[in-house]
Amino acid sequence: MLLVVTRVMVAGVAYFESFVVRMAQVSEELRSARFVLGGLGMTTMTIDELTALVSSCAIAVHEARGPGLRESVYRDCRITELRVRGLTVELEKRVNIVYRDRIIRKGLRIDILIDGRLVIEVKAVDRIHPVHQAQIITYLKLANLPAGLILNFNATTMRAGIRRIDHPDVYAEKRAARLAARQSDNSKDASDSGVSASVTCHPPQLPE
């Protein structure tokens, strides 16, 4: 009988310990305020299509509420609008700071992450400053994400308050592609000019 009671007590202690560990994990998740709202998972849209859709959400919020409110108000309105559009929204997404393959810090947080790949920073300032753009670039590099949007709701029009920032590697690829396309167009124009000249220019005919 004593052996049975002992086993029951040991099992109870083990269960209690596992319960405490799980509650600690839940507490950490709640403390970090990381959760997902709405959406049915990752979309199949390209990053350009996604940024266009998110920009249209920002324009809708700005048209409904106008400038002059707090950032937190615009943030909550945006979350509601994004959920209505069926997008996956992560708030306070944690990003590790890694240096020489070691995690230095875990406290850096992305304000809003859409579809697991688009960083959103909501602002209500007089204008977008270079430090705001640098902050987005840092997030993109640390989390290895393709693009981000700075949304300044204090702008007179929302279109003027939207600033897209690409990951430096993505930006470099786009720039190289534009340069290659421009060089190709220039070569084609030069080739067409040469053909035209050979057709329209005739040598003088000598009298018989």
> What's the first-to-final CA gap in the chain, in angstroms?
133
Could you give the CA distance from residue 27 to residue 49 in angstroms, rounded to a whole number?
37
Return the SS3 of 80: helix
Pick the most confident of 8-12, 68-72, 94-98. Answer: 68-72
Domain coordinates of the chain in residue numbers?
A: 35-173
Bridge partner list, 113: 90, 119
If you average pLDDT over residues 97-125, what whole number do you get?
A: 89
Q: Backbone phi, then psi, for 100, in 5-degree steps?
A: 55, 50
List the structure tokens of 112: 């809003």
Comparing 195 with 119, the larger pLDDT belongs to 119
C-alpha distance from residue 69 to each of 55, 77, 87 (Å)? 19, 11, 24
Is the pLDDT score of 78 beyond 50? yes
Could you give the CA distance from residue 120 to residue 87 in angstroms, rounded to a whole number?
13
Q: Backbone phi, then psi, for 73, in 5-degree steps?
A: -65, -50
Q: Report the predicted TM-score, pTM, of the whole model to 2 decimal places.
A: 0.67
Half-sphere exposure (Cβ direction) of 11: Cα atoms closer than 13 Å: 6
Comparing 91 with 6, the larger pLDDT belongs to 91
Is the pLDDT score of 191 beyond 50? yes
Phi-psi sector, 160: left (phi>0), alpha (psi -120 to 50), beta? alpha
pLDDT at position 199: 45
